[in-house]
């Protein structure tokens, strides 16, 4: 069996194992939708009087808000999965995996792919709920956007796992993740377009990789497939997911030594 086939088989086994664990705790998948639903029903109505400003066209608030909300779901929904890994580290599960013939990349790939599947299910549910609220769905754009959200989710999950493997305790993991996710979310224009921000804040947001994903998400929902924002968003997220997953894998290998 070739090395690639071995990684594929092991990843499949780890993915199935993690999905089975998720199905046994399916309630948490829906509980995590509570915060996005609050933003949808309690925050979005506050934006109705902002129609006509740059980046928030009159009558299209939902078209701008939902793509940003889904990016927020990908960001926060995947950023804290490391707590589950810490529990498995503490119980010795990961250590047992490391002494088996299972390929090291498969241990992480099985987890991040599970996280991506759960995230995409949540994104679809939120989008379905938003349609009666006035969302006009471009199906092709939405399907491409799902790939973008999966990349964001895998990036954030990989980062969370990397820190979990380094810290191995919740006391250090929680403040680290909060310190990273808060400024990243604020400087991405998730809830309000950055066109509303002063110029210095718009310039600062260009240093934030997630802002490119937000622009791409809104362009896809609008069906504006010629937009350079889509290309930039996928290029930036492709680079980021590669670097962060490599770092997470390196952290796992260090734990094994």
What is the chain written as a DSSP string?
Answer: --HHHHHHHHHHHHHHHHHHHHHHTTHHHHHTTHHHHHIIIIIGGGGGGGTTBTTB-TT-HHHHHHHHHHHHHHHHHHHTTHHHHHHHHHHTHHHHHHTSSS-HHHHHHHHHHHHHHHHHHHHHHHHHHHGGGTPPP-HHHHHHHHHHHHHHHHHHHHHHHHHHHHH-SHHHHHHHHHHHHHHHHHTTTSSS-GGGS-HHHHHHHTT-HHHHHHHHHHHHHTT-TT-HHHHHHHHHHHHHHHHHHHHHHHHHHHHH-
pLDDT digits 0-9 by tens, 40-78: 988 888 777 555 555 555 557 888 899 999 999 999 989
Residue 185, CA distances (Å) to 173, 180, 242 in order? 18, 9, 21
Residues paired with 111 in a beta bridge: none
Q: Report pLDDT for 52.
A: 52
Q: Report pLDDT for 197.
A: 82
Q: For tokens 């390929």, what's the residue? A: 103
Question: How much of the chain exceeds pLDDT 70, in percent?
Answer: 94
pLDDT, greater one: 193 or 95: 95
Distance CA 235, CA 214 (A): 13
pLDDT digits 0-9 by tens, 94-139: 888 988 888 989 999 999 999 999 999 999 999 999 999 889 999 9
Round the average pLDDT of the chain to a whole number and report it: 89
Question: Above 70 in pLDDT, residue 224?
Answer: yes
pLDDT digits 0-9 by tens, 19-48: 998 888 777 777 778 888 889 988 888 777
Question: Above 60 in pLDDT, residue 166?
Answer: yes
Q: Report pLDDT for 257.
A: 67
Residues paired with 56 in a beta bridge: 53
Q: Show the tokens assigned to 15.
A: 């993915």
């Amino acid at each position: 069996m070739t090395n690639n086939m071995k990684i594929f088989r092991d990843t499949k086994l780890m993915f199935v194992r993690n999905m089975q664990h998720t199905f046994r705790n399916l309630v948490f998948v829906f509980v995590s939708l509570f915060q996005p639903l609050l933003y949808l029903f309690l925050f979005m109505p506050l934006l109705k009087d902002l129609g006509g400003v740059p980046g928030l066209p009159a009558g299209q608030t939902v078209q701008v808000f939902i793509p940003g909300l889904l990016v927020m779901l990908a960001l926060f929904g995947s950023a804290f999965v490391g707590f589950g890994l810490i529990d498995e580290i503490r119980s010795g599960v990961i250590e047992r995996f490391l002494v088996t013939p299972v390929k090291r990349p498969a241990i992480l790939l099985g987890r991040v792919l599970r996280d991506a599947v759960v995230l995409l299910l949540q994104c679809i549910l939120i989008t379905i709920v938003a349609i009666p609220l006035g969302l006009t769905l471009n199906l092709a754009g939405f399907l491409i956007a799902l790939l973008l959200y999966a990349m964001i989710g895998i990036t954030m999950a990989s980062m969370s796992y990397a820190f979990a493997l380094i810290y191995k305790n919740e006391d250090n993991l929680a403040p680290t993740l909060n310190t990273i996710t808060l400024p990243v979310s604020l400087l991405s224009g998730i809830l309000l377009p950055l066109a509303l921000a002063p110029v210095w804040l718009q310039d600062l947001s260009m240093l934030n990789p997630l802002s490119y994903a937000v622009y791409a998400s809104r362009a896809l929902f609008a069906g504006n497939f010629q937009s350079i924002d889509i290309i930039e968003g996928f290029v930036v997220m492709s680079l980021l997911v590669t670097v962060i997953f490599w770092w997470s894998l390196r952290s796992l290998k260090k734990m094994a030594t």
